[in-house]
Amino acid sequence: MLSQASAQALTRLRSYTPPPTNYNKLPLTRRAAVLILLFPDRYGDLKVVLTMRAATLRNYAGQAALPGGKADNLEEKPFDTARREACEEIGLPTTDTKLPPGFRVEHLCELPTNLAMTELGVRPCVAFLCPSHTPSATASPSDAEEASSVEEKMIPRLDPKEVAAVFTAPFAQFLRKEWTRSEPGPTSPKGGKHSWYRGTWTDWHESQWRMHNFYIPKPPPSAARVRQNQDASNARAQESHGVGEPEGDDPRPEPTPFEDLQNFRVFGMTARILVDAARVAYGQEPEFEHNAHFGDEEIIGRLLKVGRMSEIRRKGEGLTKDVLRSAVSETSKM
């Protein structure tokens, strides 16, 4: 069975109702969704699936991300978009009947829409991959073996056009300032200890914005916890397009080849979505400073009112501080 904390987290997610959303007001070209796919490890703790985007992609190449992408049509619901994209990126079947026997994907909830720098409205969809027998902290060797096989069964193939690697991270850890797991934590290139979390405040969306940076230890190549796509193994771990520097000794070095990475760095919108999801799931606030609100529904609504996020993307169009400042100013007069 699940650990008590995990069972309670799933219950909170199932009962969560997001506020009214502007997602359905967006044109098709501005709609996207990501899948926060949770599953139990051998101890009954929740883990989440993440990907390293391939170097060939137009946007956010070489960066850690949740499975997901743009909507196909206006009738497609966010969860269907996220599930379809997860199929293309990590091989998760779109229907439960195509999953390995004894498994199903339960849709738990949706979170408030986030605003990407590419002016997409990104809807996070939380789901739980349920094995036929969920292990407990006192699992037998056979139970542990069944649990450890979950990652292999749910990631049967990779799309070399979109994913360089698939890896997992402990879900509750996204509320912690320090690495609290029993297994080895993040390491520096010289083999020393590396920070799990670094963050900084920056000006964004006409307010102070917390930029989170998490460093997930990269398992050995033979471990089931990381599935690398050899055709896309040259993906670079590009260091954020965002504003501001993380705290500590992280000067955002030159991109590092995938094989030389010590840790997977999760940052930007992906990091914020995971923090918000963990806040809802565990009913706790993070140990580090953060923005109190969830998602970006308010600023998306303001941008829509001033004619931004339209169907056709204009040449040279970009989401700048001036654009956001103008949207806030103009809508305040309405």
- Beta-carbon contacts of 216 under 8 Å, excluding residues fewer than 6 positions away, are 50, 64, 167, 169, 186, 263, 264, 265, 266
H helices of 17-176, in order, are 78-90, 141-148, 150-154
The span from the CA of 64 to the CA of 70, in Å, is 17
Over its length of 334 residues, how does the chain's per-residue pLDDT go in tens digits?
A: 789 999 999 999 999 999 999 999 999 999 999 999 999 988 889 999 999 876 665 555 557 899 999 999 999 999 999 999 999 888 888 998 888 887 889 999 999 999 998 899 999 999 999 876 554 445 555 554 555 556 666 554 556 467 778 889 999 999 999 999 998 999 988 888 999 999 999 876 567 889 999 999 987 665 544 556 555 444 333 333 333 334 444 434 444 556 667 889 999 999 999 999 999 999 999 999 999 999 999 999 999 998 888 898 777 677 777 778 777 777 766 5
Strands (E), the chain: 31-40, 46-53, 64-65, 68-70, 104-110, 114-115, 121-130, 163-170, 197-204, 207-217, 226-228, 263-267
**Nearest of 204, 61, 58, 34 to residue 122 by alpha carbon:** 34
Q: How confident is the model at residue 240, as a pLDDT?
A: 34
Would you state the pLDDT for residue 100? Answer: 80
Q: Which domain holds residue 210?
A: 4-332
pLDDT given at position 284: 98
**Cα 131 from Cα 122, distance rounded (Å):** 28
Among candidate residues 255, 261, 266, the one with its CA nearest the CA of residue 187 = 261
pLDDT at 206: 63
Task: Identify the pLDDT of residue 102.
Answer: 79
> Reduced to 3 states, what is the DSSP secondary structure of residue 285?
coil
By C-alpha distance, which of 161, 162, 185, 164 is closest to 173? 185
For residue 278, the domain's CATH number is 3.90.79.10
Which whole-number Å values give the CA distances from 247 to 169, 172, 186, 189, 292, in the listed order? Answer: 22, 22, 16, 18, 20
Please tell me the pTM assigned to this model: 0.84
When divided into structural domains, the chain yields a total of: 1
pLDDT, residue 262, reads 83
